[in-house]
Amino acid sequence: MGILSSLNRAQKEAVGLLQIGTFLEYFDLMLYVHMAVLLNDLFFPKTDPKTGSLLTAFAFCSTYLLRPFGALFFGYIGDHLGRKATVIMTTMIMAMSCIIMATLPTYAQIGITAAWLVTVCRVAQGLSSMGEILGAGIYMTEITKPPARYPAVGLIGCASRLGTVAALGIAMLVTSEGFNWRNGFWIGAAIAVVGSVARTRLRETPEFVDMKRRMRRAFEDVKEMNPEKAEKLRALQETLKREKVAWKTMLAYFVISAGTAVSLYFNYFYCGGLLKEMGFTPGEIIQQNFIISMFELAGMILTVYLSYWIYPLKILKFKALLYLPFLILFPFLLSNSPTPSIIFLMQALGVMIGLTGIPADAILFAHFPVFKRFTYVSFIYAISRSLMAVVTSFGLVLLTDFFGSWGLYFILIPFTISFLWGVYHYERLEHRTTRSFFWNLFQWRSGFNKSFTREIYRS
């Protein structure tokens, strides 16, 4: 890929290994998520349609609820043992959970125990996937420089979406061709083990190694009780104390991550529920989601490619501003006898121009201090996904039940505006704007009217 031609051999190898691992991780993670319309009937008791919607929401939330604890665990490992150790561990956890799910008896065989066991596996997969994609993204951020850094990190996100496409492909085979769903989890377990072994070839990032070296030398100096060197240690400790992140930066990263979670649930699960109400079978819903995932992957590859020439934050702002008018229009379309074609249009627009931090993730990560980066990023990311999973999944069920389609406004519009504010805050950190938030919303044109080759990046 020409946009990565400036990377050396080791960096290109890291890009390949991390993409493969992330693809495998998200294939395993999303396999159950997108077969929930089928597997919920196998692992949970039969229910009425409304309770079924809540069970779907529960299956979605179980992936995210305990992620903050995983963030603290993997954040500690990532910031103390290293980025490499984290991405290897997360892949192994995913492999083990897939093996359990591939052999798990159904509700008809062991009753409610099946529901509890599958939920535990979903939680384990959610924990490992969080450490996986963030560990890979942080790793690439620390070993590359702009502008190649942006597509290099963005390709990690593309790999996760490719994993989603593959998972939907397997789900489609299960529902339409009679493919045994257990074999899908066996495939996921096997390739996750292969990914773990392959990642042992990675080297630790230079930024992390340098910080660990400085800390080790400082503690050795204390043991020697050298006054001059002890003073250097105090200076280093003072530097680390000053490496604090402003609450606005944490909030900005939170709302950008939250926007991604909102878009995921709305595009695939809420719209999938609408199709189910129209009489679509689980197989037909999975088939449509598979097509939608192809649109999402194509749109993401395009934005990642453009991020080499167009500043990534401008891409995020442009897409969100373009999506906002469609969000305002959606309740009108849904309240007037919606058709499957309308739902397909909503999904396609949502996945192509909806809310996502890609391809600007490298910029978001870089504004957290190196020695605390994994902990900060993973914890905020986990909190946003956990909270938004509950708010979006259960909130949309309850709000649309009470207000009809107009209930979408209570979630989609506020989070889109919050997402835009988060992008604006990072633009200020990058010294890309000095204007107010509302005036800055209309500033995106200047970035797109310039020639690609004249766009200036700031490291």
What local confidence, expressed as pLDDT, does residue 253 receive? 94
Q: What is the pLDDT of residues 116-145, one digit of tens each?
A: 787 777 777 777 766 667 778 888 888 888
What local confidence, expressed as pLDDT, does residue 334 receive? 87
Range ranked top by mean pLDDT from 100-104, 140-144, 256-260, 432-436: 256-260
DSSP 160-177: HHHHHHHHHHHHHHHHHH
Average pLDDT over residues 312-337: 90
Query: Sign of the CA dihedral 13, 208, 356, 185?
Result: positive
Computed over every residue of the chain, the mean pLDDT equals 77
Q: Which of 10, 19, 29, 33 is nearest to 289 (CA)?
A: 33
Are 376 and 257 part of one and the same domain? yes
Write the single-letter amino acid at 287: Q
What local confidence, expressed as pLDDT, does residue 63 receive? 60
Q: Three-class SS of residue 103?
A: helix
Residue 160 lies in a domain: yes
Are 164 and 217 part of one and the same domain? no
Are 66 and 95 part of one and the same domain? yes
Decide if pLDDT at 15 tops 70.
Answer: yes
Residue 391 lies in a domain: yes
What local confidence, expressed as pLDDT, does residue 304 receive? 93
Distance CA 399, CA 407 (A): 5
Residue 276 lies in a domain: yes
Are 85 and 218 part of one and the same domain? no
Residue 9 lies in a domain: yes
Percent of the chain with pLDDT over 90: 17
Are 256 and 404 part of one and the same domain? yes
Are 232 and 311 part of one and the same domain? no
**Length of the chain measured in residues:** 459
CA 402, 405, 408 angle in degrees (round to 5)? Answer: 90
Higher pLDDT, 241 or 24: 24
Distance CA 185, CA 170 (A): 10
How far is CA 294 from each of CA 211, 243, 260, 341, rounded to the nearest angstrom?
A: 41, 41, 17, 17
Range ranked top by mean pLDDT from 117-126, 187-196, 280-289, 407-416: 407-416
Are 362 and 231 part of one and the same domain? no
Please compute Rg for the chain using Cα positions.
Answer: 23
What local confidence, expressed as pLDDT, does residue 243 receive? 62
What local confidence, expressed as pLDDT, does residue 276 receive? 83
Q: What is the pLDDT of residues 59-110, one digit of tens each?
A: 555 566 666 676 667 767 766 666 667 767 777 777 787 788 888 888 778 8
Structure tokens given for 237: 């400790």
Are 237 and 327 part of one and the same domain? no
> What string of H, E and C letters represents the secondary structure of 54-99?
HHHHHHHHCCCCCHHHHHHHHHHHHHHCCHHHHHHHHHHHHHHHHH
Residue 229 lies in a domain: yes
Higher pLDDT, 17 or 50: 17
How far is CA 296 from each of CA 161, 197, 267, 273, 350, rounded to the nearest angstrom?
A: 8, 30, 10, 19, 9
What local confidence, expressed as pLDDT, does residue 423 receive? 93
Decide if pLDDT at 232 tops 60.
Answer: no
pTM for this structure?
0.76
Q: How many domains does the chain have?
A: 2
Average pLDDT over residues 262-286: 84
What local confidence, expressed as pLDDT, does residue 36 receive? 66
Are 260 and 238 part of one and the same domain? no
CATH number (domain holding residue 138): 1.20.1250.20
What local confidence, expressed as pLDDT, does residue 140 receive? 86
Residue 105 lies in a domain: yes
Question: pLDDT band for position 451 (50/70/90)?
Answer: very low
Average pLDDT over residues 373-388: 83
Residue 365 lies in a domain: yes
Decide if pLDDT at 197 tops 90.
Answer: no
Distance CA 259, CA 417 (A): 9
> Which backbone phi and psi does 450 adopt, to 5 degrees?
-80, 155
What local confidence, expressed as pLDDT, does residue 32 receive? 73
Are 276 and 387 part of one and the same domain? yes
Give residue 228's domain range: 206-242
Structure tokens given for 291: 């097509």
Question: pLDDT band for position 448 (50/70/90)?
Answer: very low
User: Taking the CB of residue 63, how many other CB atoms lie within 10 A of it?
Assistant: 24
Decide if pLDDT at 346 tops 60.
Answer: yes
DSSP 307: T
Residue 459 lies in a domain: no
